[in-house]
Structure 1
Amino acid sequence: MGQYDALYNRGEKRIAELQKITPVKSTPLQQKLEQHGISRRDFMTWTAKVTTMLSLPLSFSPLVAQAAEIADRVPLIWLHMAECTGCSESLIRADTPSIDAVIFDHISLEYHETLMAASGWQAEENLEHALEAYKGGYVLAVEGAIPTANNGHFLTVGCKGHTGLDIIHHAAEGAAAIVSVGTCAAFGGVQAASPNPTEAKGVGEVIHKPVVNLGGCPPSEKNIVGTLMYFIMFGKLPALDMYNRPKWAYGARVHDNCERRGRFDAGEFVEKFGDQGAKDGYCLYKVGCKGPYTYNNCPTERFNHHTSWPVLAGHGCIGCSEPNFWDAMADFEKPLGRRDIHSLDMTADMIGTAILGVTAVGIGAHAVAGVFAKDVEDK
């Protein structure tokens, strides 16, 4: 428990420092929660869930609660690059705001082009003011890939005609932490798909500072808010995998926690969409599910107030949280078979893709053996 004691002490000191800062929001978090019909009990249940999600002991729940209540002391600047705004939509589009959405609303959001009223020259001035006023202390969240071809001019934005490449370099310079929200910002996403004429890249490839990658198209709102909570609590980045993704969110394969995993082990597969197996909730591996090669917490956290996720809804995982997924995981409705898998191995971060290729073959063989066993059983 020594490491947890040290981390808890760090969290206490960090929160004590933040509490000395004048609150940005005039309405306390608890009052905001009550306005949305969220009780104190609901909030404390949320803190326990977030604590567990972050792979921390439940004794850290009070720290999570305090971090949420003083979240408005940490400035957040959110930039949009080459993207569809789907990651922001994942967080804010809800008929009834979730606690995560209320927490995000409570954060000192200094700049977000989708949510702010300002535009044109006023928007430019707001961004420049925020970058200067909070230099060295703000969290920079980036949504979207960074086009780099032709000196970045494939993405030219704002009334001053700055390129996305210029903006990201300038904004990253004074950031205390940088979070790439979504696969486009993390790895280039669909913008970087072959032949990639704009030479779109992830944020981490164009700047020379540590970056947290929240893969997913879009990522779960819990992964976004959880990462922000971790930084607010401890003033540092969480433990990351070899692709700079938080291990607490991307430490297990989708396949490992899938509700259809038992069907896979039993050799019960959907052969084509709409067949009886599909109606009975059989495994979607044969119709292209990439869950065995994808690291994310979609099965446990889900989307839309924990309502559902693609596999539960009837379509296989497309591996959207993995690097180069648009090219590496296609065709999305056919199994990968013997193709190389550019992902992590469950045993160690440094295992090479050669072994992962063998893993893919093993999964395919397991599927065939399972079906054969079932055929014999049926006879």
Structure 2
Amino acid sequence: METFWEAFKRHGVSRRDFLKFATTITGIMGLSPSMIPQVVRALETKPRVPVLWIHGLECTCCSESFIRSATPLASDVVLSMISLEYDDTLSAAAGEALEKHREEVIKKYWGNYILAVEGNPPLGQDGMYCVVGGKAFLENLKESAKGAKAVIAWGSCASWGCVQAAKPNPTTAVPIHKVITDKPIIKVPGCPPIAEVMTGVIMYMVLFDAIPPLDSQGRPKQFYGNRIHDTCYRRAFFNAGQFVERFDDDGAKKGWCLYKVGCRGPTTYNSCGNIRWYNGLSYPIQAGHGCIGCAEEDFWDKSPFYQRLTTIPLPSVEASPDKVGAVAVAAAAAGAVAHGVISKIRNKGGK
């Protein structure tokens, strides 16, 4: 199978643009600039990796996010970086021919392909709540995972269960790690995940033939290592005690913190605040809507979304220019009085 660089040359990519891409993808993967030479070497020497992308119970929002990746372009990922052998949403083929190809890919690349799973399996009625190609998705999932070297759980459906597994869960939908227990699973939660997070994860695995560093819940640390609260541009307003009380109040117009109207940023781990969406254009909090915590486990069962989390303590002082000025004057006056008292005590002590 051809290498990345060979695929790039075949598509008319210059050496200069190739090196620019290597630099960009290094940053997207959360690596330091010192890793650029290693990324270049990997792109020059590593063969493209076969990928099977299967779909269970889901709304296809992960695929919709993925195809809008701008750095790198989703078309470059699919056509030049990986060998996307099966995807019943993006594939040109369909029906029996496509399902037969999936079976052939499993046999041909046994132990060497990556399985990407979007959505989750329902266990109720022997899996009959989700049927793909004439088979229960539960059966397809187990069959496709057997020969995979690693599994990527795209989105909150595959990672946590999401809305399908929300109470009362009549189909008994479960996240994929409840079914696949003998393979490494990389969870990339979000409803949907950020496009560049998806491409960054898959590129790390392909280039280094390794699983990215994961946290205790199986999420890549470079993308899920910080709370949205930690990278939010409204954090300063939270620290100052300046909050939106209603979506149409003066604080909302000034862009104050959305915590009191239900923002889940303080408890949600994701890269929305620094990578953002649509080539870094915006994200929900920037658009004026609080985070609903879609990357966290059981987020659908943690509603209502428009009530603040009582477990997060608010700053003790709500600041404003007038209050800060008054506090500063009072502090200065208190300091002067204290200085006078201490001086008198010292003088008496000296005498």
TM range (shorter): 0.7 to 0.9
Rounded to whole Å, the distance in 1 between the matches of 2:111 and 2:184 is 14
Contact 2:122 2:171 in 1 (8 A): yes
- Does residue 232 of structure 2 align to residue 285 of structure 1? no
- Does residue 318 of structure 2 align to residue 371 of structure 1? yes
- Does residue 101 of structure 2 align to residue 101 of structure 1? no
Q: TM-score, structure 1 length as denominator? A: 0.79
How far residue 373 of structure 1 moved from its aligned partner, in angstroms, is 7.1
Q: 1:195 to 1:378 in 2, by over 3 A?
A: farther
Q: 1:182 to 1:33 in 2, by over 3 A?
A: farther
SS of residue matched to 1:23? coil
How far residue 242 of structure 1 moved from its aligned partner, in angstroms, is 1.6
Rounded to whole Å, the distance in 2 between the matches of 1:217 and 1:49 is 25
- Does residue 66 of structure 2 align to residue 91 of structure 1? yes
How far residue 189 of structure 1 moved from its aligned partner, in angstroms, is 0.9
Q: Alignment partner for residue 156 of structure 1, among 123, 126, 131?
A: 131
- Does residue 252 of structure 2 align to residue 303 of structure 1? no
Q: 1:100 to 1:64 in 2, by over 3 A?
A: farther
Q: Hey, what does 1:340 align to over in structure 2?
A: none
Q: Hey, what does 2:93 align to over in structure 1?
A: 118
Q: Alignment partner for residue 179 of structure 2, among 183, 206, 229?
A: 206
How far residue 41 of structure 1 moved from its aligned partner, in angstroms, is 5.4
Q: Alignment partner for residue 157 of structure 2, among 184, 196, 200?
A: 184
How far residue 378 of structure 1 moved from its aligned partner, in angstroms, is 8.7
Q: 1:125 to 1:24 in 2, by over 3 A?
A: farther
1:218 alignment partner AA? P
Count matched residues: 323
2:129 alignment partner AA? F
Deviates more, 1:168-177 or 1:147-156: 147-156
Rounded to whole Å, the distance in 2 between the matches of 1:268 and 1:51 is 37
Rounded to whole Å, the distance in 1 between the matches of 2:101 and 2:179 is 24
- Does residue 35 of structure 2 align to residue 28 of structure 1? no
- Does residue 233 of structure 2 align to residue 249 of structure 1? no
How far residue 221 of structure 1 moved from its aligned partner, in angstroms, is 1.5
Rounded to whole Å, the distance in 2 between the matches of 1:27 and 1:55 is 25
Rounded to whole Å, the distance in 1 between the matches of 2:25 and 2:3 is 24
Q: Larger radius of gyration, structure 1 or 2?
A: 2
Q: Alignment partner for residue 260 of structure 1, among 231, 234, 237?
A: 234
Contact 2:4 2:46 in 1 (8 A): no
How far residue 225 of structure 1 moved from its aligned partner, in angstroms, is 1.3
Contact 1:67 1:229 in 2 (8 A): no
Equivalent residues in 2 for 1:47-58, closer than 5 Å = 47-58=22-33
Rounded to whole Å, the distance in 2 between the matches of 1:191 and 1:241 is 25
SS of residue matched to 1:332? coil
Q: Hey, what does 2:335 align to over in structure 1?
A: none
1:29 alignment partner AA? F
Q: 1:25 to 1:50 in 2, by over 3 A?
A: closer
Contact 2:212 2:220 in 1 (8 A): yes
Q: 1:281 to 1:68 in 2, by over 3 A?
A: farther
Rounded to whole Å, the distance in 2 between the matches of 1:299 and 1:70 is 34
Aligned CA-pair RMSD = 2.4
Rounded to whole Å, the distance in 1 between the matches of 2:228 and 2:9 is 35
Contact 2:71 2:196 in 1 (8 A): no
- Where structure 1 has 5 or more consecutive residues not aligned to the other structure, the ranges are 1-21, 338-359
How far residue 303 of structure 1 moved from its aligned partner, in angstroms, is 1.0
1:244-293 C-alpha deviation (Å, 9 max, x unpaired) = 00111101111000011111111111111122211211111011110000
Rounded to whole Å, the distance in 1 between the matches of 2:12 and 2:186 is 29
Q: Alignment partner for residue 75 of structure 1, among 24, 39, 50?
A: 50
